[in-house]
Structure formats: C-alpha cells, structure tokens
Amino acid sequence: MSLPISPQQVLYWGIAIAAGLIYLPYLLVAYGRVTSGFDPNAPRAIFDKLPPYAQRATWAHQNAFESFTLFAPAAILVVFAQAASPYTNAVVITYLLTRLAHSLFYIIKIFPLRGLAWIVSLGCIASLYGTAITKISLTP
C-alpha cells in the first residue's frame, strides 16, 4: 500500500481521525436530544427519553472513547519505536474503517457485524502494540 504521506504521518493522521470518529455518532445523539425536548439544566436526564437510535449512538460514542484510549498510545508507541511501515499503514487504515463500521452497525442495530468490527479493530490495536514491542530493544 503506497500512500502520498510517510508511514509516520499515517500514524499521526490516524490518531487525529480516530479522535474525530469518536464524535461522529454524537451527531445523531445531538439530533435525538433536540427532537426529544433537551433541557440544558439537566443535560444527562434526557437519556431515557431519547429515541432508540440515539441511545445506541450514545453507546457507540462511549465505545469509541474506550477504543481510542487503547489505539492512540499504540500508534504513538510505534512512532517512538521507529517501526512505522507500509504494514502499520494498513493496520491504521483498517482500524479506522472498522471503527467507522462499528459505529454504523451499532446505530443501525446489526450485532454480528458490530461484533466483528469490534474484534478486528481490537486486533489492529494489538498488532500495533506487537509491532512496537518487537522493535524496541529492552536490553542496553
């Protein structure tokens, strides 16, 4: 896979895009809040009044935070280990696509594909950690 930017830049952009993907489901949450009579004095009290798609979007949003807290350090560790490569490019792009798919499958309620996207994205994170760890020399 040949991209017009360096593998290290793919990792940096991957972190930035993954951070943005956290808020993609929240657009539907915001729409659900507006249509459900949002009270700014009690912003969290509306959850039970949200339509089901907005509740699932909230869960997708929360899951994206959880995934990001594992992905970003893994990507940074690959940069630190100077292990960025076309392979890590493919892993980062796969991670981003599966996280996007995970959110969509969560919102439209397709459990088997949501689970598959979650497993693949977790595998991508594990692969980044593995790549960095095998590159770093632990002996002086």
| Contact between 102 and 119 (Cβ < 8 Å) | no
Model confidence band, residue 126 (pLDDT cutoffs 50, 70, 90):
very high
Provide the sign of the torsion angle of the four alpha carbons 116, 118, 124, 129, taken in this order. Answer: negative
- 3-state class of 81 per DSSP? coil
pLDDT above 70: percentage of residues in the chain: 96
Alpha-carbon span 64 to 54, nearest angstrom: 15
What pLDDT was estimated at residue 140? Answer: 59
What pLDDT was estimated at residue 4? Answer: 87
Residue 139, pLDDT > 70, answer no
Whole-model pTM over 0.85 = yes
The identity of residue 45, as a single letter, is A
What pLDDT was estimated at residue 66? Answer: 97
What pLDDT was estimated at residue 44? Answer: 75
Question: What are 34-75's pLDDT values in tens digits?
Answer: 888 877 787 777 888 899 999 999 999 999 999 999 999 999
> Which tokens belong to 107?
């919102």
Model confidence band, residue 132 (pLDDT cutoffs 50, 70, 90):
very high
Residue 102, pLDDT > 80, answer yes
What pLDDT was estimated at residue 39? Answer: 78
What pLDDT was estimated at residue 51? Answer: 93
Alpha-carbon span 73 to 7, nearest angstrom: 16
SS3 content of the chain, % helix, strand, coil (to 5): 75, 0, 25
